[in-house]
Amino acid sequence: MTKHIIAAAHSSSLLLDRAACIAKACDVIDEAGRSSVELLCFPETCIPGFPYWINLYPPGRQHGICVRYANESVDLSGRDLAPICEAAARAETNVVMGISERDGGTLYNTQVFISRDGAILGKHRKLQPTFAERMLWGQGDGSTLNVFDMSVGRVGGLICYEHMMNLARQALILQRLEIHCASWPTFASSRQRGGAYDLTVETLMRAHAITGQCFVIVAQNPVTQQYLDTMESLLGPQDVLATGGGCSTIFAPGGATIAGPHTGLEEKLVIAEIDLADITRAKVLVDSAGHYARPDVLELVLDKTPRNGWAQR
């Protein structure tokens, strides 16, 4: 079977409330199941929401809210994601969930890959937190730069500006990536940088579909009033970030837009039916993991050694 239904969750979180974020995500997964979606990609750090304050307030004022964020982050060694796994099994939908992961005293920006029977297949930790994110999240490593066999095909993912790292994208392409889950927040509603944001994301993701000969799901959250109210109740007023934004899209291997873009505060599933045979048609022309690669000239070295934490060394 080469035809499948995939979707982006254009959905916001309930910032700083892990339990509420999980409950809302389960409702979205249930909706995906009713729509026969076989693979559902969520935005970056959907649980417990993207920490926009890191770019809006002086670092010295952020300690308290960052402590609260750590307490609301997800511990994968326990059962924090059990409701999500149960919802995936109930809906018979593969899920790629964006979380802030808490491992000991360190946080990581992470995607979790969950099969349609509710099993956690693995995770990907963002290799390099972007800009002010470095105050909050640790660096990932090559041990989580993987592609997973799912019922819809070979699925991998990267997070936000990590897509700027061309070698990280190529590392997934060389693992015969078929469907790429790109988890993003939005900055399109930012008064300082919003104008170019959607164009930047679209350009990167369309290029990844073309150069990797893969389907690409882009999942973003719009900024809701709840995000702004929660931040401002703890840190005071700001005049940079407004409500809105979010742009969720699905691209085909040739770069064509096959679902979306859907923008703005209306939360919905952005759904496309895909045919994996389209990948073969693209790779006959250019296979960047095979006949159009030149490993004798250009070699990618991927270090898969786990490097986070004493117990892993």
Question: Do 283 and 213 meet the contact criterion of CB atoms below 8 Å apart?
Answer: yes
- The sign of the dihedral angle between the CA atoms of 158, 163, 165, 167 is positive
User: Token pair 């719009």 is at which residue?
Assistant: 222
Please name the residues in contact with 16: beta carbons below 8 A apart, sequence gap of 6 or more: 48, 49, 65, 68, 69, 72, 230
Residue 207: enclosing H or E segment and its boundaries?
Answer: helix 194-212
What angle do helix axes 18-34 and 82-91 make, rounded to 10 degrees?
Answer: 10
- Selecting among 21, 126, 247, 283, the annotated active-site residue is 126
Are β-strands 94-103 and 39-41 bridged in parallel, bridged antiparallel, or unpaired? parallel
Element (H or E) spanning 24, and its range? Answer: helix 18-34
126 carries an active-site annotation: yes
Place of tokens 């104008």: 195
Orientation of helix 166-173 relative to helix 194-212, angle to 10°: 30
The residue from 21, 31, 41, 44 that is catalytic is 44
Q: Are 206 and 246 in contact (CB under 8 A)?
A: no
Q: Which residue has the tokens 């060389």?
A: 174
For residue 175, how far is the Cα from the chain centroid? 19
Radius of gyration of the chain (CA): 18
Q: Catalytic residue at 214?
A: no
For residue 278, give the 3-state DSSP assignment: helix
Check 21, 160, 214, 247 and give the catalytic one.
Answer: 160
Instruction: Give yes or no: 160 in active site.
Output: yes
**H or E element in which residue 230 lies:** helix 225-235
Calculate the CA dihedral of residues 208, 179, 147, 197 and round it to 10 degrees. Answer: 40
Residues serving a catalytic function are 44, 126, 160
